[in-house]
A and B are shown apart, each in its own frame.
Chain A
């Protein structure tokens, strides 16, 4: 009798506990605060970049430059998360990096390469941005390989993405036939 009552009470407590939990997509205000603390620096750079981007969507070189600070900040945060062995954060941030690289930075850089003729003064900025992307891919790979996550699924995904960035960068930065030497 007693253990039946105890089990009933436990079941009621469980129901009450589960009903009070947020759904899988809900984030509680307390969690929002924690997430904000962690991601404020990235969002800050993203907003800066977005405002620059809003002024330069038709200027690919400036558009690709608007990603510079955000990508560097993201890379730094991924390294830190990998250093702490925080797999879920590494997965989340590398997803953001992937999106911004593949859909924002690299396409804009490719367009910029097509617009900037060989030897044009803007080429210096173009090469600078290419070097930033190179540095990010190499530094991130080195840090992930040295981290405790080196042989995890997250790390494997990152290595593949980095390899893909290198390939895309190589293709997009190779001058095409339309690039004429600047005089």
Chain B
């Protein structure tokens, strides 16, 4: 339903938009510069390519990197989907969709299968991606080694020399402190057997989806002025220990709305007593399942003992 409305709007806005902005907001020279950086990024999977990041009409941290990539690769026939925390309905997602409707006049959608460009923050859609689709990730800190090594010169040298032992020090610390690898998002991966890469604030639940993915995956960090990429069908391995293998999150309950046991669930607090509802974070996936007749129990879970306010 949302998808249809979006498309109609885009037809109306297109003519008007053409007078005010260059197609997709950025000027052609800037788009060429971003594309050159992207070509290099695709040629060297996982390698962070510096680019001349521009000021965008939104604050850093809201997806300036992702929006520049989307603008640079967008054509008139593209169909754009934007998600924030898996949801199509959050402020950021709605704003970016309407931004591109206005400045590029492209069609937008909320359906994963219909989209050719999917700009995302935090999630990969549950529905499997296909060849020809492009994932655009908004990345806050592109450097996976940054938390342990503050010097940029040093981290670049470490990438160049494949000195990645320090990444395992981080995982070691997790196990020593928490008894398991407690890193649950931005979980470091090895791309194409060569570069260690930060998958942005993606939950580790989505890491396996990046491996051998048919879609092209592009990552943009606007503030840090870096782009990197995973070409289609590239191996992406999550780092781990032999005796503590990589594992994704699991939930004890299915989604309360669509009953899915395979999706990434958000925990939503629904009352003052701290009762929780577990629902799919991917709103499109959840809605599609409900339309097919899948129903969850809709029941919140009582607050764990000792937390949450008394009613």
A and B interact: no
- A residues contacting B by CB (< 8 A) are none
- B residues contacting A by CB (< 8 A) are none
